[in-house]
């Protein structure tokens, strides 16, 4: 019986840990990455700032939908929708 309860407790703990990790990953994929790339904190990613991420750099022209040479947060977020 004790063993059974311990197993349930362990399962619940593992589940809680998994849920926590999921939230963390989600945050990093959205705002944290934008803020990390935006070195001068002007809320836009320049081509130079994007060069830190080769994949972003490759897609820069396609993501810069208004063609001003900078990625706004909205333009940056759109990259996950393709
Ligand atoms: Ca910037
Ligand atoms: Ca733009």
Tell me the H-state helices in 28-67: 33-37, 47-50, 54-58, 60-63
Q: How far is the CA of 76 from the centre of ligand 2 (A)?
A: 9
Contact (Cβ atoms closer than 8 angstroms) between residue 48 and residue 42: no
* pLDDT score at 22: 54
* pLDDT score at 6: 78
Q: How far is the CA of 39 from the centre of ligand 1 (A)?
A: 6
Nearest Cα neighbor of 47 from 26, 28, 75, 25 is 75
Residue whose structure tokens are 């490759």: 58
Q: Which domains does the chain have, with CATH numbers?
A: 2-81 (1.10.238.10)
| Tens of pLDDT, residue by residue, the chain (82 residues) | 677 777 767 767 776 666 655 555 554 444 568 999 999 999 999 999 999 999 999 999 999 999 999 999 999 999 865 5
* pLDDT score at 59: 94
Q: How far is the CA of 62 from the centre of ligand 1 (A)?
A: 18
* pLDDT score at 30: 47
pTM (two decimals): 0.60
Q: How far is the CA of 6 from the centre of ligand 2 (A)?
A: 54
* pLDDT score at 54: 93
Q: How far is the CA of 70 from the centre of ligand 2 (A)?
A: 4
Q: How far is the CA of 52 from the centre of ligand 1 (A)?
A: 12
Element (H, E) at 46: strand 44-46
CB atoms under 10 Å from CB of 33, counted, come to 15
């Amino acid at each position: 019986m004790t063993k059974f309860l311990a197993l349930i407790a362990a399962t619940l703990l593992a589940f809680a840990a998994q849920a926590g990790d999921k939230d963390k990953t989600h945050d990093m994929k959205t705002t944290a990455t934008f803020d990390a790339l935006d070195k001068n904190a002007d809320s836009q990613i320049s081509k130079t700032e994007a060069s830190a991420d080769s994949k972003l750099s490759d897609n820069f022209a396609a993501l810069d939908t208004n063609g001003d040479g900078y990625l706004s947060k909205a333009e940056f977020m759109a990259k996950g929708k393709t």
